[in-house]
Structures are given as C-alpha cells and as structure tokens.
Amino acid sequence: MVLVVVMGVSGCGKTAAGRRLAAKLGWAFCDADDYHSPANKKKMAAGTPLNDEDRIPWLCALHDILRREEASGQDAVLACSALKKMYRHVLVSGASAIESNQPEQPGENAALKILFVHLHGPIDVIAGRLEKRRGHFMPPELLKSQFDTLEPPTAPENFITVGLEKSLPEIVLEIECAIFQGEAFLE
C-alpha cells in the first residue's frame, strides 16, 4: 500500500507529474485543487493568499481521501501544495494533528505512511510556467506568497526532493525509483 503526495508551490508541476505517475503505475490520482471550497477558490482568484484557517478543513478532507484509499487497499497519488510542515502533518494524521501537534499513536487511526515528493525549482522558472497557464484560479501574483509560506520537508519527514530542471518523464522515473527501490518507505 503506497500513498504519494506530490507537493510544492503553484506551477511546479504537481498535477502533471502526479497524474503521469499514477497513470503509469495504474494507481488512483487526486488533485487537491479539486477539493478547495468555492470560498477558497474565490479568495485566491481575487489575489488573496489562503491562511491556515482556510487550508485546515481542506487538508482534513484530503487526509480522509487518503485514509479511504488506504482502507480500500488502493495505491494513490495526490497532487497537493502541502507547503508547511504542519500541513503535511495534517495529511498524515488528520484533524488530531491540529489539536495535539503530535502524530497519532498506533491503532485504528494510525498515522498514514506517505511519501512526500517535493518538486523544487527557482521562482523565475515557475513564474514563467504560471504566466503560460490559462483557466486556473491561482494567479501568478500569488507565487511569491507560496514561496514565503514554503517550509521544505526535512528529516524525519518521509520525503524526496526532485529538481525541476529534469523533464517530466525523468521526474516520474525518479519518483518511481524512490518508491520501488525502497528508499521511500524505510521503517
């Protein structure tokens, strides 16, 4: 049972990489953007960055989706910004992570085992991508706020970092190698 969250700032290629990885492996794919509330989408479209209060219910819903995939035995890939360590903690442990700021203990609501794949690249490269993107609620003007919010994953989080200088097939192959060579899920 493998759960992967492809994360990073808006425009880094989370959806493209996550969708391609899931299709290649025959896994389920979810795009976190599809689960933002209409109020969140409206706020971002107006050029206002989301705050923690806006994001927590969304992250809890995403945790529930990942929990459902795990319970059904379905390997899954989620494309989600997961910018802060706390947000990743909510994805792993659900709402209890907010109250206790500690991972859930083993039992029926044990923390999910997730590999976070941080797609990382320079702001100018990502800004160029955003300028070309059409029909998305996230305007390029909010990219700096995303970089300001970003807390790149660090140990002991379960993660790999993949540079955006690579092509999409190379990025997907690097993620695949991390999953299947066992790097991603060391106990």
Nearest CA among 175, 153, 171 for reference residue 163: 171
- pLDDT at residue 112 tops 90: yes
- pLDDT at residue 3 tops 90: yes
Q: What is the pLDDT of residue 23?
A: 98
Averaged pLDDT score across all residues of the chain: 88
CA distance 101 to 146: 23
What token pair was written down for 94? 């659900």
- pLDDT at residue 168 tops 90: yes
Domain extents in the chain = 3-185
CATH fold of 3-185 reads: Rossmann fold (3.40.50)
For the stretch 123-145, pLDDT in tens is 988 888 777 766 555 555 778 88
Sheet harboring 76-79: ordered strands across?
28-31, 76-79, 3-7, 114-120, 159-163
- pLDDT at residue 107 tops 50: no
Q: What is the pLDDT of residue 17?
A: 97
**Structure confidence at residue 83 as a pLDDT band (50, 70, 90):** very high
Q: What is the pLDDT of residue 133?
A: 64
Q: How far is CA 76 from each of CA 21, 23, 99, rounded to the nearest angstrom? A: 10, 10, 27
What token pair was written down for 149? 């919010």
Eight-class DSSP state of 34: G
> Averaged over 72-88, what is the pLDDT?
96
- pLDDT at residue 104 tops 90: no
| pLDDT above 90 coverage of the chain, percent | 66
Give the predicted TM-score (pTM) of the model: 0.88
> Averaged over 67-71, what is the pLDDT?
96
For the stretch 13-49, pLDDT in tens is 999 999 999 999 999 999 999 999 999 988 888 888 8
